[in-house]
Structure 1
Amino acid sequence: MTVNADPPRETEPNTPEPTATTAVADPPQTSPAEPAATAGAVAPARSARWALLRRLHFYAGILIAPFLFVAALTGLAYTLAPQLNQVVYGQELRVDAVRDTKVPLADQVSAARQAHPDGTLSTVSVFDDPEATTQISFSTPELAAEDKVSTVYVDPYSGEVRGTLTTWYGATPLQTWLDSFHRTLNLGDTGRLYSELAASWLWVVALGGLVLWLGRKHAYRGERAARRRAVLPDLKAKGVRRTRGWHASVGVWTIVGLLILSATGLTWSQYAGARFGSLLDAMQGHAPALDAALPTGGHHSSPAPAEPRESDLPSGASLEQVLEAAGPMDGRLDIAIPPDASTAYTVAQDDGLWPVGFDQVAVDPASGDVLQRVEYGDWPFLAKLTKIGIRAHMGELFGLVNQILLAALALGQLCVIVWGYRMWWQRRPTRSDRKAVLGSAPPRGGWRTLPRWFLVVGIPVTLFVGWAMPLLGITLGVFLVVDLLVGAFRWALRTPPPRLTD
């Protein structure tokens, strides 16, 4: 993977020539105004830290970048899901004409049942959008194993059935496919490893590159020029310098968004997500659960019949009365149908557009009285932050603006990765007697000269991060082991065997 020679570099006026092993940025230098003793004491430790960071950033970029590239590409495709839904499923999702009156929800359920005689009625979903159809979902054992349902789309004004789709938590088949493609490459639990690996390393690569770039010595006149070079590429530069400028400056502009995507993506990952869930348990940071069980005594009680009910809806309060009891709510309202006489209706608000709303209400099916209300405003801070972060990750928090920002982040990440590989190619030796396929990695061994305090602090922190994000810890351990073995092998080849004497 690496070679021992480096290519010739283009030079810039008044700019020191970078070292041959610089992958992304050069280490900061001590100021001429500093005393020589201070510079001599600080320079070795600082150079060691920078060499170690450059090597980590180089190998992480080379080996993890393909996973980041796929995640960005599939995420870019998912940002188009709302518009694609309207194009592909406009017949099911939209009504032909908005009218003054709507058909009772019970009649809409009857129309959906005639179109879909199989399964158990599970949810009736209504929207505050006057052009949206009513979504009536039926559950079957086969689909329930995949957390899916059959959703019948009914025109609320005419009662006409517009179509039937197999949905996953309200998502259309196309949106479900795009979501699964982004999370698992449609490979199931095995495919989830790719997305978790990408999310685990994204913040490491991004922060490491930022530190290297901002710590690089910019030999430009004045601090203003140095700040401009930190956020804008030097269009006058050529070769690897020009590529590095674009790679770093676009990375600076996108780093905040990438860190948010990394953090929110890890919250529902397979292994790091489990660690995060344990943290929420310990800090009581989960959203409070709504109790849908009917009370066993008092005037709200509903005795359970000996046999299952014959109709899809329980007798008593109508669905309109249930919605009225739940109170005014924006966005999508999912009415969960009681599976038996001991369970209440639940109305769950799903409004992911800022300001968000996720209130939940339990309603007695017999009397229409509210039994319990869980408001989003009462959620713990961590639960709110997690929910908002996930909605932003999915492109729903700010509507079209959110989609555009996500698309820009995905395109920026794709470009940064391509420029990173281009730098690797441009840094290869090209002289006739020193040709190599690829550029060399920064030198190893920088950790040997690190100060003891840095190792005392850094090793426990690294172990904790590896525990919190297991895939990051495992792959980092593999990198270290392979790097040590390669170094030992090369050292053995360079070291002549001892001579045997009589």
Structure 2
Amino acid sequence: MTTTAAPPRTSFAWRGLFLRLHFYAGVLVGPFVLIAALTGVLYALTPQLESWVYSDQLRVPVSTQQLPLSQQVDAALATAPQGTLVAVRPAPEPGDTTRVLFAEEGLGESERRAVFVDPGTGRVTGDLVVYGTSGALPLRMTLSQLHRNLMLGEPGRLYSELAASWLWVVALGGLVLWITRPRNSKRVRTHGLIGVWVLAGALLLSATGLTWSAYAGENVATLRQSLGWTTPSLKIPGGSGDHGDHSGHSPAGSGHGDVDTVLGTARAAGIDAKPLEIGLPTAPGGAWKVTEIGRGWPTQVDAVAIQDGDVVSSVKFADYPIAAKLTRWGIDAHMGVLFGWVNQLVLLLLGGGIAALVVLGYRMWWKRRPTQGFGRPAPRGQWRKVPPAALVGLGVGALVIGWFVPLLGISLVVFLAVDVLLGRRAKTA
């Protein structure tokens, strides 16, 4: 009797193609993903590191009484800081200091000078440059830039965008390989097992990372704008509503006497988060802006504009479009501030898992490299095994994704070109 071998299944044909893409993509982008994972783990630890390194500026003895906020601002102004008074962040908890914020010439984008004041005594405990809505101090600023661009400025952002662009491709390719692995195989590789466990987190990091990227980020912003998924902005009477622009503020020391009344009005209007920022008017008689800045709980991002003692405009998180809410939650989760230490722990495990995947992947490649007697993980020509209609669909999908995520598209073209050249070289050797 003779037996006829069963024709190869479509799933097997797809497996060869995915294996080749997963292997070579992992080899090429692995270093970028590894650096992003390790620097991300460092960044996730910064809240505790900041509390320890800057304890002299951040912590004071708990006082039973607090000075009016306007007097705390006066104490900061008495140190004769350079620049323009732009905002105040009242002490969120007993034992914390109040931050009085100034815009200065020479500071970078989203950077401000913070003077720290003991709310009980008015004693100034120091001043530091802080960054962004999170109020990141110099240590976190440094680790953030290391994670974002390797301290290389705008050109360095290409590294993190490349890592975010390929991370989801490699992760989903690994999932396909895990699902289609031979069922009679008793060997379960640690690499694949870790990949399954970190899959959801890797996809989240990739998606949220792309929203901050230089090129794909622009396409994401355009898409959100066209679909009405943008985050609502607070309407400021007589102003742009852009909290990051402080060029129109009055000189330091003027117009802050109403800060106590403004705080009381905001609290009465439902601004109940402990961490908040009070932005001064950008023109005499203009509106104040009071914004919740706590990110440990996903709903504390409300904001109100107050003019002449009345709330004239407000934005509530409850009114955000669902896409804007998901974006807010995703970004906060990426930064490790959503739900506090729980989010940090998840990021530590996730970053460690991704770093382990890269290391184990290179170990597998080294042990099974061709010079050790093994063939390539998937020979060239795997695309010929894929049904033509499916191959056309795959090509169209790659073109669309490559346009939307430019670094992915460009690097994929380069990869294919190099692969073709190596194939021709091998034939002529």
TM-score (norm 1): 0.78
Pair 1:322-2:262 in alignment: yes
Pair 1:167-2:130 in alignment: yes
Retained in 1: the 8 A contact 2:250–2:282?
no
Retained in 2: the 8 A contact 1:424–1:439?
no
**Alpha-carbon shift at residue 382 of structure 1 (Å):** 1.1
Q: Which residue of 2 aligns with 1:124?
A: 88
Equivalences for residues 468-479 of structure 1 within 5 A: 468-479=404-415
Match for 1:136 among 100, 117, 125? 100
Percent same amino acid at aligned positions?
A: 44
**Alpha-carbon shift at residue 309 of structure 1 (Å):** 6.2
Equivalences for residues 81-160 of structure 1 within 5 A: 81-95=46-60, 97-143=61-107, 145-160=108-123
AA at the equivalent of 2:305: A
Q: Deviations over 1:112-146 (max 9, x none)?
A: 11224311001101243222210001111211x43
The worse-fitting range, judged by mean Cα deviation, of 378-387 and 328-337 is 328-337
Q: Which residue of 2 aligns with 1:428?
A: 369
Q: Which residue of 2 aligns with 1:257?
A: 201
Q: Aligned with 1:423: secondary structure? A: helix
Q: Which residue of 1 aligns with 2:190?
A: 246
**Alpha-carbon shift at residue 347 of structure 1 (Å):** 0.3
**Alpha-carbon shift at residue 441 of structure 1 (Å):** 4.1
- The alignment yields a C-alpha RMSD, in angstroms, of 2.1
Retained in 1: the 8 A contact 2:297–2:339?
yes
Retained in 1: the 8 A contact 2:11–2:180?
no
Retained in 1: the 8 A contact 2:273–2:294?
yes
AA at the equivalent of 1:260: L
Retained in 1: the 8 A contact 2:84–2:102?
yes
Change (3 A) 1:449 1:322: same
**Alpha-carbon shift at residue 448 of structure 1 (Å):** 2.2
Q: Distance in 2 between matches of 1:309 and 1:435?
A: 72
Q: Deviations over 1:231-279 (max 9, x none)?
A: xxx5xxxxxxxxx611111111111111111111111111111110001
Q: Distance in 2 between matches of 1:92 and 1:189?
A: 31
Q: Which residue of 2 aligns with 1:300?
A: none
Retained in 1: the 8 A contact 2:15–2:180?
no
Q: Distance in 2 between matches of 1:107 and 1:147?
A: 26
Q: Deviations over 1:406-434 (max 9, x none)?
A: 000111111111111111111135xxxx6
Q: Which residue of 1 aligns with 2:321?
A: 380
**Alpha-carbon shift at residue 321 of structure 1 (Å):** 1.2
Q: Aligned with 1:391: secondary structure? A: helix
AA at the equivalent of 2:207: A
Q: Aligned with 1:163: secondary structure? A: strand
Retained in 1: the 8 A contact 2:304–2:311?
yes
AA at the equivalent of 2:109: E
Q: Which residue of 1 aligns with 2:396?
A: 460
Unaligned runs of 5+ in 1: 1-34, 221-228, 235-243, 296-307, 494-502
Q: Aligned with 1:348: secondary structure? A: strand
Q: Which residue of 2 aligns with 1:52?
A: 17
Q: Distance in 2 between matches of 1:457 and 1:186?
A: 40
**Alpha-carbon shift at residue 82 of structure 1 (Å):** 0.4
Q: Distance in 2 between matches of 1:217 and 1:324?
A: 66
Change (3 A) 1:134 1:36: farther
**Alpha-carbon shift at residue 343 of structure 1 (Å):** 2.6
AA at the equivalent of 2:218: A
Change (3 A) 1:73 1:310: closer
Q: Aligned with 1:413: secondary structure? A: helix
Q: Which residue of 1 aligns with 2:425?
A: 489
Q: Distance in 2 between matches of 1:250 and 1:406?
A: 15
Retained in 1: the 8 A contact 2:69–2:90?
no
Pair 1:208-2:173 in alignment: yes
**Alpha-carbon shift at residue 44 of structure 1 (Å):** 5.5
Q: Aligned with 1:478: secondary structure? A: helix
Q: Deviations over 1:438-493 (max 9, x none)?
A: 97342011112321210221111111110111100100111111111111222233
**Alpha-carbon shift at residue 147 of structure 1 (Å):** 2.6
Unaligned runs of 5+ in 2: 240-248
Q: Distance in 2 between matches of 1:426 and 1:73?
A: 24
AA at the equivalent of 1:125: R
Retained in 2: the 8 A contact 1:108–1:154?
yes
Equivalences for residues 215-230 of structure 1 within 5 A: 215-219=180-184
Q: Distance in 2 between matches of 1:435 and 1:277?
A: 48
Q: Deviations over 1:322-371 (max 9, x none)?
A: 1111124113111111131253100011121124311110011xx31111
Pair 1:292-2:292 in alignment: no
Q: Deviations over 1:364-398 (max 9, x none)?
A: 1xx31111111111111111111110000111001
The worse-fitting range, judged by mean Cα deviation, of 161-170 and 483-492 is 483-492
Larger Rg: 1
| Number of residue pairs aligned between Structure 1 and Structure 2 | 413
Q: Which residue of 1 aligns with 2:296?
A: 353
TM-score (norm 2): 0.91
